[in-house]
Amino acid sequence: VLERWLPRDVIVWCDPYNVTYRIGDHGTVYTVFEDKRGLLESVKKSVAEKISRPGSDFVISPYTTPVVIRSADGVEISRRGGASTGGPAAITTPMSVNSAVHASPTKGANDLRRSAMSPLRHVSTFRPNRSTHSGAAGGEGQLPLAGIRVLDLTRVLAGPFCTMMLGDLGAEVIKVEHPQRGDDTRAWGPPFKEYVRAPAATGPTPPYAQPPPPFPGESAYYLCVNRNKQSVTIDMKCEAGRQIVRELARRADVLVENFVPGKLAAMGLGYENLRRENRGLVYASISGYGATGPYRTRPGYDVIVEAEAGLMHITGEEGGPPVKVGVAVTDIVTGLHTHSAILAALLARQRTGHGQHLDASLLQAQTSLLANVASNYLIGGQEAKRWGTRHASIAPYQVFATADGAVCIGAGNDTQFASLCAALDLRHLAVDPRFATNAARVASRATLIPLLEAAVGRRSTSDVLRLLEGRGMPFGPVNNIAQTFDHPQVHARGIVRQIDHPFVGPIRVVGPAVEYSAGPPPRAAPPPMLGQHTEHVLRAVLGYSDQQVAAAAHAGGVVVYGYNR
């Protein structure tokens, strides 16, 4: 069928569900999407016969990445995804499976569009390569995930934290939100950052646009994990909305969701549903307990899993009640695990051409955090207990009160303990047989710690820090949050970034945790307003016309809000 449309072309990309042709007469490139295997197999056979004909202008390496195009005498003409070295080279950065080289359409291309859309019902809209707009993935001067599109169906913390990190690395993140309330965290406050500019449009808006919902401002909680995203408001309870999600998933590289297992599948939006139309899709699910097992349908909450998976049992003062960690660490570490799993799946896709389903859970992430505590039980049968800031196997290794605050001091070996004793003018303790080795200090902890507490407690925090400076041992003050962000090393590393928000003005956020020696710094687009990019995404990503945008809004599939520009 495609041979009739493209009589003299060169295929430049082919995977099980996408075929890209270069039109020989004018060099324009388009991608044809088709999910019927029989047709694609016939196309592949036809292509294979064509490029093997004697006198063929070009030959192409077997389907894989990178794709190398050579002339009939074997000279490399172009390469997708690697440096031109005359032979196959491994891709070192994630690359969109659904990408094609972009060039300006011509009359011949428009003729092709009309003929292609007529006989095949399942051929979707032609679209240019995203990497021409955001930079080829991994190219010089580009962020590592440029060209990767992420469909974000998550809310609250674990999922948004994961997708924010993908956005920091250059991925295009489309955040799908409830049309009226949006992400739950939009209402979690105070504190709110108040608007300095009215969000609602004061000028003319399209007839399908609505005024945005009133919020007291932008929630600090929401702002902390939603930069570098576009917000679209889609009603997934109606079929029109679900169809738009399917269309977006068809054009995405990654989908991240945190619904209760089975809920999206019941809507026709599960992994098995969406992979039929996009075999390259990496579909990451975050839940409380995973997709299998007796607890699979239970909703997951950070504090509940902290209690249920052992963390709360080991947190708190010795002899005191269990205590939750001061930040939602279970959510955050789940987001970190999911983020790394997505990157691994994208790398695997480069070898196989296929995506996969990733099943992440708060329970498994939290259990992995037990680390040596888990190993002590699994290997030695040793039940854990709460130690406060103390360490079960090292002494001293804890917080000590000073005359005006507190410091945390660790002496992990005998040399460090001797240094501590010298600093506190307690040199006799370093040669006392009860404290000469770490094992002896752990055994005599009840005797040792009060002696150190007395020596530290009669000094100010600044005096203790001065005495310990330069002695080759770990120590630090117990800072509050204000002191943390006034820390000289926090300033030196530029950990806090300022972003200009169009409606609340400048905001300060904690930037990415890793610095890269190559490439540009991570970008920092402001967290979006609710549904701020709905119309833009419908037009730019799905290719909707004015009439299609209006129809989607009138059908209730999306809500388009009119914002000030």
C-alpha distances (whole Å) from 98 to each of 13, 36, 41, 63 are 9, 16, 18, 14
Amino acid symbol at 283? Y
Characterize 450-488 residue by residue with b for buried, 16 or more Cβ atoms within 10 angstroms of its Cβ, and e for exposed: ebbeebbeebebeebbebbeeeebebebeeeeeeeeeee
Contacts of 219 (CB under 8 A, 6+ apart): 185, 186, 187, 188, 189, 191, 192, 193
57 is catalytic: no
Closest CA to 287 of 317, 232, 330: 330
Q: Is 499 exposed, middle or buried (0-12, 13-18, 19+ CB in 10 A)?
A: middle
What are 538's two structure tokens?
Answer: 């419908």
Contact between residue 282 and residue 342 where contact means Cβ atoms under 8 Å apart: yes
Closest CA to 536 of 505, 521, 558: 558
Closest CA to 53 of 23, 10, 82: 10
Distance of CA 515 to the CA centre of its chain: 16
Contact between residue 535 and residue 543 where contact means Cβ atoms under 8 Å apart: no
C-alpha distances (whole Å) from 452 to each of 269, 379, 389, 416 are 60, 33, 15, 14
Order of strands across the sheet with 29-33? 9-15, 18-23, 29-33
At which residue do the structure tokens 């001061």 appear?
Answer: 326
Find the catalytic residue in 253, 302, 331, 359: 331
d(CA 351, CA 366): 31
Whether residue 62 has a cis bond before it, omega within 30° of 0:
no
Compute how many other C-beta atoms are within 10 angstroms of the C-beta atom of residue 422: 14
At which residue do the structure tokens 């956020």 appear?
Answer: 509
C-alpha distances (whole Å) from 237 to each of 179, 335, 549 are 11, 26, 18
Whether residue 66 has a cis bond before it, omega within 30° of 0:
yes
Contacts of 562 (CB under 8 A, 6+ apart): 200, 201, 205, 206, 209, 210, 211, 212
- Residues annotated as catalytic are 331
